[in-house]
Amino acid sequence: MHEKITGRMFWYAFALSSAVVLSACGGNEPAEEDDPDIKEKAETAVEALKEKDYDTVADMTHTRGALFSPYINIDTEQDPMFSPDEISQFPETEETYDWGVQDGSGEDIILTPSEYHDKYLFVRDFTEADKIEKNANEGQGHMPFNGDEIYPEAEYIAFHVEEDPEQLNWASLHLGFEEDDGEYQLVAVLVDRWTI
């Protein structure tokens, strides 16, 4: 018992002294301090999505736009990218867009933004997520996550909602943010869910 305590104390002291040395040398950047900012921004985005407040979503969107995908496996040739101005018009526009391909049937997903929101995006109440994780992007379904390949500089916040009893209706909303002029901006809105 005494030896185990001594060993733990040694490793704790070693880790602490290493952290102090790295910090003094500039090798320990305070990246963790950014985490609350990203999570808070992601939670604001989820609240806005629930209310279909796309003005707020547009305000936090990167100047080059945000990509929307009905899955966590991004297809840059099919998944649409929208500018902040276009996103702000989502609730009003009756224009239909091609949002990708329906898993299973292979048919194109041709919907207005409001229809896409209801049928593919906000499929569960992500404001009541059972788990919120940063950069934990392993998909629960059969599609692999590739957002880190498409946006290697992005930080992802995932909102996971577990399935109801006797229903395979789990879903996750993954929001990708990239830093732009010192502020994290939305670049990707991805959904992982049960599909046949």
Half-sphere exposure in the Cβ direction for 98 (13 Å, CA): 10
Q: How far apart are CA 170 and CA 196, in angstroms?
A: 13
The pair of three-digit structure tokens given for residue 82, joined into one six-digit string: 């929208």
- Banded model confidence at residue 163, pLDDT cuts 50, 70, 90: confident
22: amino acid identity, one letter: L
| C-beta of residue 140 within 8 angstroms of C-beta of residue 192 | yes
- Stated as kind and residue range, the H or E segment containing 158 is strand 155-161
Rounded CA-CA distance 6/20 in Å is 21
What's the CATH fold of domain 32-193?
Answer: Nuclear Transport Factor 2; Chain: A, (3.10.450)
Q: Are 109 and 121 in contact (CB under 8 A)?
A: no
> pLDDT over 70 for what percent of the chain?
75
The pLDDT tens digits of the residues spanning 53-89 come to 999 999 999 999 999 999 999 999 999 999 999 999 9
pTM assigned to the model: 0.78
Domain ranges of the chain: 32-193
Q: Please give the Cα distance from 48 to 193 (Å, whole number).
A: 20
Q: Token pair for residue 157?
A: 């916040």
In tens, the pLDDT along 2-15 reads 333 333 333 333 33
DSSP 8-state secondary structure symbol assigned to residue 163: P
